[in-house]
């Protein structure tokens, strides 16, 4: 990891070892994130608070095929629209903490509602694994999920788990490994908005690409956030750009401001 990436992560209280991959664990409240986290990391974990917040932060470690992974258990959220401090933490870490991949844990018994968050994260990053947890509950209720169809539709890896029963966790580790270490390509499904919004995105996107943030955050997603015009978040983006900009690579960038 480069120095800028390290500084960025440290601002979230994350200081991973050299050669240690960072995996964010996101999901709606009560879907089994912490159960997945505990099953994968066992006793190799420590907890504290997110810097400056009274929200619990847990980090843990596991190794798989000689690679070391740090898991970061994010607060449970229904969306990333930052209506609460939990949503803000989850959104900022996924956007600016530069995780090498994000696992989004879904409740197999209420997929439709849970997919909302997965689609939001898929707008931000292609490095995502969908983990459909509570599969034992779904089976009990006679819910059948067509995983091949779901994976095809979403365009990202989908893994079935029952974390409380320790089922599917090795498949999850392999899916993480494939995305992070083997650089497996994904094609996350993108939400298509109304004609007006799509036209505005088309106008903004090339300008955002010129500013040179496209390799860190999705230009399409940034265009949507500019259209939201949430001033606090735009300021956050500006701070992030100034940490990450490299004037030699990117002569167009201007003093850390999103100059459009
Ligand atoms: N039956 C079943 N229960 C599970 C499974 N995974 C987790 N649970 C249970 O679901 C409840 C919530 O699990 P947590 O791991 O705390 O969920 P969480 O997503 O971390 O919750 P928040 O941190 O509050 O958002 C607990 O009672 C778990 O034991 C599973 O695969 N099957
Ligand atoms: Mg939890």
Q: Are residues 225 and 173 in the same domain?
A: no
Residues touching ligand 1 (Cβ under 6 Å) are 27, 29-35, 76, 133-134, 136-137, 162-164
Same domain, 169 and 228: no
Burial label for 20, CB within 10 Å (0-12, 13-18, 19+), is middle
C-alpha to C-alpha distance for 194 and 192, rounded to whole angstroms = 7
In whole angstroms, what is the distance from residue 137 CA to residue 134 CA? 5
Spacing, Cα 188 to ligand 1 middle (Å) = 26
Same domain, 10 and 136: yes
Ligand 1: nearest atom to the Cα of 35? 15
Asked whether residue 85 falls in the same domain as residue 164, the answer is: yes
> How many domains does the chain contain in total?
2
Pocket test for ligand 1, best of 30, 55, 107 (most atoms within 8 A of CB): 30
183 burial via Cβ count (<10 Å: 0-12, 13-18, 19+): exposed
Tell whether 107 and 22 lie within a shared domain.
yes
Residues 172 and 238 in one domain: no
Q: Which has more confidence, 215 or 121?
A: 121
- The verdict on residue 187 lying in a domain is no
ipTM: 0.99
- Spatial CA neighbour of 33 closest among 56, 63, 10, 17: 56
pLDDT at 69: 96
> Are 11 and 59 within one domain?
yes
Q: pLDDT of 212-254, one tens digit each? A: 666 667 889 889 988 988 787 888 777 776 666 554 444 444 3
Q: Is residue 233 part of a domain?
A: yes
Q: Which CATH number goes with the domain that contains 38? A: 3.40.50.300
Closest ligand 1 atom to residue 133 Cα is: 31
What pLDDT sits at residue 255? 39
For the CA of 29, the nearest ligand = 1
**Domain identity same for 84 and 208:** no
Clarify whether residues 16 and 110 are in a common domain. Answer: yes
**Domain ranges, residue 235:** 195-244
Residue 6 φ/ψ, nearest 5 degrees: -65, -45
Q: Which of 25, 27, 34 to mutate to test the pocket of ligand 1 (most atoms within 8 A of CB)?
A: 34
């Amino acid at each position: 990891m480069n120095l800028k990436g390290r500084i960025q992560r440290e601002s979230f209280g994350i200081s991973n070892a050299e050669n240690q991959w960072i995996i964010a664990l996101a999901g709606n409240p009560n879907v089994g994130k912490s159960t997945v986290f505990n099953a994968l990391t066992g006793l190799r974990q420590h907890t504290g608070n997110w810097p400056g917040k009274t929200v619990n932060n847990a980090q843990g470690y596991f190794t798989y095929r000689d690679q070391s992974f740090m898991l970061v258990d994010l607060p449970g959220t229904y969306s990333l629209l930052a209506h609460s401090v939990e949503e803000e933490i989850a959104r900022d870490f996924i956007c600016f903490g530069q995780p090498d991949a994000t696992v989004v844990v879904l409740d197999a018994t209420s997929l439709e509602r849970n997919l909302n968050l997965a689609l939001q994260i898929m707008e931000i990053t292609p490095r995502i694994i969908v983990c459909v947890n509570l599969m034992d509950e779904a089976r009990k209720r006679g819910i059948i999920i067509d995983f091949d169809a779901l994976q095809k539709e979403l365009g990202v890896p989908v893994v079935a788990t029952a974390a409380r029963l320790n089922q599917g966790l090795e498949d999850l580790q392999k899916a993480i490994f494939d995305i992070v270490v083997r650089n497996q390509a994904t094609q996350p499904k993108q939400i298509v908005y109304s004609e007006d919004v799509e036209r505005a995105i088309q106008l903004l996107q090339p300008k955002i690409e010129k500013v040179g943030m496209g390799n860190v955050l999705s230009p399409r997603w940034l265009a949507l956030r500019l259209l939201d015009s949430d001033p606090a978040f735009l300021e956050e983006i500006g701070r992030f750009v100034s940490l990450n900009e490299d004037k030699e690579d990117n002569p167009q960038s201007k003093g850390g401001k999103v100059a459009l």
